[in-house]
Structure 1
Amino acid sequence: MTRIAIIGSGFGGIAAAVRLTQAGFSDLVLFEKSDDVGGVWRENTYPGAACDVPSHLYSLSFAPKADWSRRFAPQAEIHSYLRDVARDFGVLRHIRFGTEVLGAAFDDDTGTWRLDLAGGAEHEADVLITATGQLSRPSTPAIVGLDRFEGTAFHSAEWDHDHDLTGERVAVLGTGASAIQFVPAIAPRTRSLTVFQRSAPYVLAKPDRAYRGRATQAFARVPGLLRLSREGNYLSNELRSLGFNTEPRLLFAHRAAYRRHLRASVPDPVLREKLTPTDPLGCKRILLSNDWYAALQLPHVDVVTDGIAEVRPRSVVTADGTEREVDTIILGTGFAATEFLAPMRITGRGGRDLHEQWRDGASAYLGTVVPGFPNLFVLYGPNTNLGHNSILVMLEAQVGWVVQAVRALAEGRVRRLEVRRDVAEAFDAWVQERVGHTVFAGGCRSWYLTESGRNTQNWPASTLTFRRRLRRLRLEEFEPAPVPVAGGARAQD
């Protein structure tokens, strides 16, 4: 019997649990620190939260949903979808809610993983799968005085729904993917709203619309129609890989669309200049919104491009010395994306510390396995993020590969799976060389990069390439060399 531990119950954790149980592995447990499934879609409940990938594509291939309310689903609906999948596929019975994993250590003698749980308990597993994602830990900027602010302050991923913003003077720090959604949602009810912008994002019109009853009925009743919509969205997005990863000049259509959207939305040339990006298109995440520019033109909304010098008990002071009194500060400052698997401590073979091994930037073979850490599989790991398509395509490719790996272990074809260091290093060299020629290497400062400038987040090729690389597990890429074990454990029926 192969014992499997999965950390996290977002898309990755749920997909892994479903596919593993379908393959016959029932001795598995998902550890979830919260009291519900959902990952980032459980945590990010800020006003206006929604997906920027079409709903039919931002869903699991084995669990299509015909009755999405909109072409781009809102947060609550995606969270509900994940709850439904976990229930319908029998995942809930495997989840230990309210159980945080503090760390995990590989035992060289037994070849197993020992998980340290909050409260002092332990759990032992043959296979460890982490599904904590890249966007799970909110990032707080190092601004002088922020911790001494006497008003209300919170991160967008930890929204304070008990705090009423009506009639308040609100400061928003950041203009990323979250801010462009919640600012339009809260702006009308504030007394004043100041948006502190470090760099202007590229914002395209969002081709969103509500699905009418006839459309959802057709998706449910007409054979192949929902799959056709999904595949059409996938292929349309996949074509953009050429612009992101091969020749940035091929993004000319996106550049033209952005310019048209900005010109049509912002007639004031002074404000339009503030909102014009200076970074290359695609170097940072391209955003979608139909109401961001309109919100910034409300009479009580101000966009400030001067850097923040400090936060005082009741105000924010910029580098030019201007002091603005505020009642609430909302941090739209993103996540500590490059700090993979933190704050857990992961210890591999010979007592090696994973974060120490990754001190110069995380890397993993195929974004999934790390030399020195046998039977550890990382979902949505280093260099698996995308700028052009749905991350769920990448996750499902990883999950399929992990199922093959677990089957090899369970059938006794290998004693343990540890990727060869030379294989991992050659792959990492290929990734870093390729990513250096992508749009992500345009010279901007983004959450894709470590402090040293290493890109640990993005996949520098098409998802077709990634899926092809993970189609078949190659045991020759692992060491120690595969050693047959007589009478090895098999998957449960």
Structure 2
Amino acid sequence: MTPDHEVLVIGAGFAGIGTGIGLRRAGIDGFAIIDQQDGAGGSWHTNRYPGIAVDITSFSYSYAFEPFPSWSRIFPPGAELKAYADHCIDKYGLRPHLRFHAKVVRAEYSEQHHLWRVFLADGASLTARFVVCATGWLTEPKRPAIEGLDAFKGDVLHTARWDPSLELTGRSVGLIGTGASAVQVIPEIAPRVESLHVYQRTPIWVFPKPDFAVPEPVRRLFGAAPWTQRAIRLLTDTATEAGFVIAMIHHRRFPFLVKAGEAASRLYLRSQVKGDRELMAKLTPAYRLGCKRPSFGKGYWRSFTRDNVRLVTEPIERVTETGVRTADGAEQRFDVLVLATGFQTLENLPPFPVHGAGGRELREFWRTERFQAYEGTSVKGFPNLWFIVGPYSFTGGSWFGMIDYQVTHALRVIREARRRRATQAVVRPEKHDRSFRETLRRVPGTVFAHGSCRRSNSYYFDERGDAPAVRPASTYEAAWRARHFDLDDYAYAGPLGRPA
């Protein structure tokens, strides 16, 4: 049976775009990239809240092979990331391969025909020999399970589904959550609202954000001599690996790195809240740096010193028709509720049922036998399928570093299958299990094994206490392994199951 596409890429964010570029560069043109949204860019297409910007420098937050000389700032705003996505699509000729408004509701593997059938919400279906799931983490907003939320009679909006037409000036606003999006949106809206109450469950480690405009002469230099921008990227990548990844992954060996980071963050907090010890205590995390995603902030902590901003640490009891009631019985009235409560992450992996060999459903497999994958990308019993963001795939450095090595892994296997004229490639169970054992062997040496992580309410962790959102390895090691793993770790088969 001839499939509709040789390769089907699900998701048109940077992971899907990077996969498409990799396929084009490998000479594979029989592919399609589908996405449920009306445009490309993933999170940078759908997220439009005030203050949205990247929280890693633009030199690292881009494809290594495609430096972008036109960034306006060190940490560019979201609109520029969306523009960069469109730039890459046009430069590498991906427009003809894109299909939008294509929401996947189910995927099933045919052992007889060695292909995937992907069913869409509009009733259509597509077939593909190989599937790359590039849906990422940050696609489905997480709505908090707070009693009475649906009964609130004012305006309610999630930061991931921001309504630009909603006017906040002069209104009383309650904001729930103090994660990465809250760090960006609070300083933007605090000066113009009448009052802002921020409901905090768990504080976040924050570092100063050295966000400067990139001078025009420097941008011209980057355009004329791209190697200069690549040189800066090497420095920022190395700093990220040394300052965060090494500290997080090798915490047992280098505990002083985490302690130094915490000291720097506390010093920054002290400078922002002007000696208010009570406020400083409320904003200081009680868990190790690295247990939960930290952030770079520009005015976040200082916002809590404003007369119209109040930090609330009492647990929320319920949302009423007019406001929020906390466990101490206090109730505050609001015109608007902002939910800065992040996304479904591990719960959304993958965001639709996937049935592999024997009809087994992938999410059921992960939830009964633990999140696991060979090199963070493929799963035993699920042939011809790779995840750009899978269990233990992201190293904690640049998102683009992960995209690069995961695409490299998938393309090596697809090219090998083509060379052997195979129609099926599936990771061998013993190789898959060995990879998972090696991952688990490293975990005790990471910061995730620290007892304080249980207090962090971090999306890195699942219900078992595992931390499958982060790979216990450096980006450099993961990239090396993607280029050198043994291709015979996969079993290849041709039509009718004949070995290839």
Give TM-score scaled by structure 1 length: 0.95
Inter-partner Cα distance in structure 2 for 1:222 and 1:408: 36
CA contact (8 A) 2:349 2:390 kept: no
- Cα 1:309–1:407 change in 2 (3 A) is same
Tell me which amino acid in the other structure corresponds to 1:243: A
Q: Residue 175 of structure 2 corresponds to which residue in structure 1?
A: 172
Inter-partner Cα distance in structure 2 for 1:3 and 1:169: 54
1:355 matches 2:358 = no
Q: Residue 250 of structure 2 corresponds to which residue in structure 1?
A: 246
Tell me which amino acid in the other structure corresponds to 1:177: A
Inter-partner Cα distance in structure 2 for 1:8 and 1:402: 16
Inter-partner Cα distance in structure 1 for 2:472 and 2:351: 27
- Cα 1:90–1:305 change in 2 (3 A) is same
Q: Residue 138 of structure 1 corresponds to which residue in structure 2?
A: 141
Which of 345, 370, 375 aligns to 1:337? It is 345
Once the 2 structures are TM-superposed, how far is the Cα of residue 484 of structure 1 from its aligned partner? Answer: 6.5
1:381 matches 2:385 = no
Unaligned runs of 5+ residues in structure 2 are none
Once the 2 structures are TM-superposed, how far is the Cα of residue 473 of structure 1 from its aligned partner? Answer: 4.7
Q: Residue 471 of structure 2 corresponds to which residue in structure 1?
A: 459
Q: Secondary structure at the match of 1:188?
A: coil
Which of 204, 217, 241 aligns to 1:214? It is 217
Q: Residue 448 of structure 1 corresponds to which residue in structure 2?
A: 460
In the TM superposition, what are the counterparts of 1:89-488 in structure 2 within 5 Å?
89-222=92-225, 224-240=227-243, 241-247=245-251, 248-267=255-274, 268-360=276-368, 361-387=370-396, 389-412=397-420, 414-442=422-450, 443=453, 444-479=456-491, 482-483=492-493
Number of aligned residue pairs: 484
Tell me which amino acid in the other structure corresponds to 2:259: F
Q: Secondary structure at the match of 1:417?
A: strand
Inter-partner Cα distance in structure 2 for 1:133 and 1:448: 14
Once the 2 structures are TM-superposed, how far is the Cα of residue 475 of structure 1 from its aligned partner? Answer: 2.8
Once the 2 structures are TM-superposed, how far is the Cα of residue 288 of structure 1 from its aligned partner? Answer: 0.6
Tell me which amino acid in the other structure corresponds to 1:244: M
Inter-partner Cα distance in structure 2 for 1:6 and 1:215: 36
CA contact (8 A) 1:405 1:473 kept: no
Once the 2 structures are TM-superposed, how far is the Cα of residue 252 of structure 1 from its aligned partner? Answer: 3.3
More helix as a share of residues: 2
Give the RMSD, CA atoms, in angstroms.
Answer: 1.7
Tell me which amino acid in the other structure corresponds to 1:400: T
Inter-partner Cα distance in structure 1 for 2:169 and 2:309: 14
- The range that moved more, 237-246 or 177-186, is 237-246
CA contact (8 A) 2:135 2:350 kept: no
Once the 2 structures are TM-superposed, how far is the Cα of residue 432 of structure 1 from its aligned partner? Answer: 2.5
Inter-partner Cα distance in structure 1 for 2:359 and 2:219: 54
CA contact (8 A) 2:204 2:294 kept: yes
CA contact (8 A) 1:340 1:381 kept: no
Tell me which amino acid in the other structure corresponds to 1:311: V
Q: Residue 68 of structure 1 corresponds to which residue in structure 2?
A: 71
Inter-partner Cα distance in structure 2 for 1:173 and 1:290: 19
Once the 2 structures are TM-superposed, how far is the Cα of residue 149 of structure 1 from its aligned partner? Answer: 1.2
1:85 matches 2:88 = yes
Inter-partner Cα distance in structure 2 for 1:410 and 1:214: 47
Inter-partner Cα distance in structure 2 for 1:141 and 1:160: 19
Tell me which amino acid in the other structure corresponds to 1:198: R
Q: Secondary structure at the match of 1:178?
A: helix
Inter-partner Cα distance in structure 1 for 2:356 and 2:108: 6
Inter-partner Cα distance in structure 1 for 2:65 and 2:227: 14
Aligned residues: percent identity? 37
Once the 2 structures are TM-superposed, how far is the Cα of residue 438 of structure 1 from its aligned partner? Answer: 1.1
Tell me which amino acid in the other structure corresponds to 1:465: E
Once the 2 structures are TM-superposed, how far is the Cα of residue 437 of structure 1 from its aligned partner? Answer: 2.5
CA contact (8 A) 2:140 2:348 kept: no
Once the 2 structures are TM-superposed, how far is the Cα of residue 413 of structure 1 from its aligned partner? Answer: 5.1
Once the 2 structures are TM-superposed, how far is the Cα of residue 441 of structure 1 from its aligned partner? Answer: 3.0
Q: Runs of 4+ in structure 1 displaced over 3 angstroms?
A: 340-343, 482-486
- Residues 239-262 of structure 1 show CA distances to partners (whole Å, capped at 9, x for unaligned) of 133211112322233222212211
- The range that moved more, 357-366 or 98-107, is 357-366
